[in-house]
């Protein structure tokens, strides 16, 4: 590639402006943002009008643009932009985890067909280089599990509710004021964002393309002060944790649930908007990475890292996919959970395989025991509708 790259940027929101700032204040890498495509013609932007366009083809059809960077909110339009750029032989960087989770197979195929590179470090875990680490350092080692805190918004809210005793509503408002949460926080607090990232990470950790609808996600909207009190009495913190795990038969399971974390775990001390990723390996044991998971500059830095990598001809090799490191996906697994419920009829609906602990009082009820993950998936809507709180507990 040329010594100074020309970038066509789609989107100039929080991450787009973060990239612009990081790029212009970087001492080791130089590139030029040639055009920025945006949608809202009324919005004022902190760059010259000559950089702005409202026509995506002004970037896609420009032969002088070397790299397309996609940072918009609309996942389907993002897919249209990214796929068109790849078809035109342009390398692409994106941070759109929803778009990737819905279209991994198509995007993988387009890269192979058109011999171009699509990089997306900024789509998972903010500033933590988890994808590059899985692709390069762990490309040959068999992994047993990848888990962690993949969403800075929920981690910030949980930190404030548990450590500082703020209400959920006040903690969410504070996260929005600091720019860690959107005005509509559904994707974050209901675990969709973490699920999308888990699907992406599963591809690089185990080589398996999982359909996002196969993965259970239950977030933190059902959290109650009684659950926080239980965690405090047991010496736990509550975190929203995606788990992607290899089973003994070489199949993969993945889910997103709140989890009670003990003081012995690395994730216990990962608070506020920080993310943490734990990689359990067959030979090298547990590896742990921590970094900022939300905010303009951390994600912008991850995007810039991908742009820099492209300038050196880097591309994902997807070794574990081509070598078929995992056989299939399943939700037929037994997990250990805490479940706060309303009435005994809830237990008739949500059947446990084994109950190890029961608590019944005038204020609230809970059980701790083993349940088939497929049962939780089947009863997900019932759980959410009735504000039942369910949290994973490691056996």
Catalytically active residues are: 197
C-alpha pair distances (Å), 142 with each of 129, 207, 242, 341: 19, 11, 19, 39
Alpha carbon distance 291, 131 (integer Å): 14
**Nearest of 258, 256, 259 to residue 243 by alpha carbon:** 256
C-alpha pair distances (Å), 191 with each of 59, 240, 241, 307: 34, 8, 9, 29
Lookup: tokens for 267: 């994730």
Angle, alpha carbons 251-255-257 (nearest 5°): 150
Lookup: tokens for 50: 């000559």
Alpha carbon distance 194, 380 (integer Å): 17
> Do residues 265 and 236 touch, judged by C-beta distance below 8 A?
no
Alpha carbon distance 301, 216 (integer Å): 30
């Amino acid at each position: 590639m040329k010594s100074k790259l020309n970038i066509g940027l789609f989107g100039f929101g929080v991450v787009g402006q973060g990239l612009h700032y990081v790029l212009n204040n970087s001492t080791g890498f130089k590139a030029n943002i040639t055009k920025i495509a945006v949608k809202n013609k009324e919005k004022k932007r902190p760059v010259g009008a000559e950089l702005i366009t409202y026509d995506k083809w002004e970037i896609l059809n420009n032969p002088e643009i070397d790299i397309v960077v996609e940072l918009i909110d609309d996942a389907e339009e993002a897919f249209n932009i990214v796929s068109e750029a790849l078809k035109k032989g342009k390398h692409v960087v994106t941070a759109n985890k929803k778009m990737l989770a819905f279209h991994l197979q198509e995007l993988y195929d387009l890269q192979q067909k058109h011999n171009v590179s699509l990089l997306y470090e900024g789509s998972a875990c903010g500033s933590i280089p988890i994808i590059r680490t899985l692709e390069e350092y762990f490309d040959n080692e068999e992994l047993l599990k990848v888990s962690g805190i993949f969403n800075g918004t929920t981690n910030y809210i949980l930190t404030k509710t548990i450590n500082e005793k703020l209400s959920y509503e006040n903690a969410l408002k504070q996260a929005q004021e600091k720019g860690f949460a959107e005005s509509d926080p559904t994707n974050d607090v209901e675990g969709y964002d973490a699920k999308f990232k888990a699907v992406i990470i599963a591809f690089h950790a185990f080589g398996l393309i999982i359909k996002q609808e196969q993965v259970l996600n239950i977030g933190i909207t059902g959290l109650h002060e009684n659950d926080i009190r239980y965690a405090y009495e047991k010496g736990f913190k509550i975190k929203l944790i995606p788990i992607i795990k290899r089973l003994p038969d070489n199949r993969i399971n993945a889910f997103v649930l709140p989890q009670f974390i003990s003081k012995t775990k690395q994730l216990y001390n990962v608070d506020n908007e920080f993310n943490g990723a734990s990689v359990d390996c067959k030979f090298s044991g547990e590896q742990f990475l921590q970094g900022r998971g939300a905010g303009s500059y951390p994600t912008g830095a991850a995007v810039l890292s991908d742009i820099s990598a492209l300038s050196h001809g880097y591309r994902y090799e997807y070794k574990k996919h081509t070598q078929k490191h995992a056989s299939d996906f399943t939700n037929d697994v037994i997990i250990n959970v805490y479940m706060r419920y309303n009435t005994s009829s809830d237990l008739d609906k949500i059947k446990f395989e084994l109950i190890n602990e029961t608590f019944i009082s005038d204020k609230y009820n809970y059980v701790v025991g083993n349940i088939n993950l497929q049962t939780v998936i089947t009863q997900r809507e019932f759980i959410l509708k009735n504000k039942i709180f369910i949290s994973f507990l490691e056996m």
